[in-house]
Amino acid sequence: MKKDRVHIAMVGSAVEPVISGAINKGATDIYPIISEKFWPEKFDELKNRLSASVCIHDKVNNKLLKVDPFRDESFIEILEMIIDIVQFHPSKDSEFFINLTGGTKLMSAVAEAGAVLTKSQAYYVVNPEENVKNKRRESVIDLPWHSMIPLELDNSRVLILKCLNDHPSGLSNKRIVGLYPNEFTSRKITYHLKDLKKTGYITREREGRYTINKIAPWGKIALRIAEMNKISRM
């Protein structure tokens, strides 16, 4: 039985990069993440032009795959969409590809980050309009990001991030040690938290007598990747 070949594509004003990539790679499924300015017109156009051979998805976890690529929060929002697609696609035995070609510069940057974090095959389409018009399979450049090492965290730091994720209002060092007395000492927790702050995974702010630790957006992403990698190794 052949594996699903799942494509995640950034979409702006043109669908040719998506179509060209799908033809070149033999896509079975496409999750187009579309700028809200062009939603739902571009989704409908993709569905009309590719639905005979490819399953086009408009949602992941019941959330429409449309985004506003001009907000500060959109980078994390799109990145979480990519992770959701890889994690929750119905077929667990699938190959994942991420098309970096379409959409805004921010969307392309997120797609590249998503390829690294999910170990997906990234690619860029050159001259997509010409490829589609002449039914060419060439001019698609594979990028090596999928072979890079994703975010790595040891068990202690995963535990800290999970604990802070479960307590969004934040926890003091002492409180974390109290929750996991067999795992951490005061000295050990301070060491881990300082390193997690350096990576941008947590924030630390003084509140009265205590320093309160909170998980940051990148910490949530790191935790999700660590948990997903743990599942994949089972």
Residue 129 has a pLDDT of 62
Among the residues of 57-135, which ranges form H helices?
74-88, 105-118, 128-133
Domain 155-232 has CATH 1.20.120.420: no
Q: Do domains 4-147 and 155-232 have the same CATH topology?
A: no
**Which pLDDT value is given to residue 216?**
94
Mean per-residue pLDDT pooled into runs of 10, the chain (234 residues):
92 93 93 97 95 91 96 95 96 93 95 92 82 61 63 86 97 97 95 92 93 94 86 50
Domain extent listing, the chain: 4-147, 155-232
- For the structural domain made of 4-147, what CATH number should be given? 3.40.50.10770
Q: What is the 3-state secondary structure (H, E, C) of 135-157?
A: CCCCCEEEEHHHHCCCCCCCHHH
Q: 3-class DSSP state for residue 230? A: helix
Closest by CA to 110, choosing from 161, 72, 54, is 72
Per-residue model confidence (pLDDT) at position 151:
58
Cα–Cα dist 214/211, whole Å: 10
pLDDT given for residue 133 in this prediction: 59
Structure tokens at 153: 């965290």
Q: What is the predicted pLDDT for the residue at 137?
A: 52
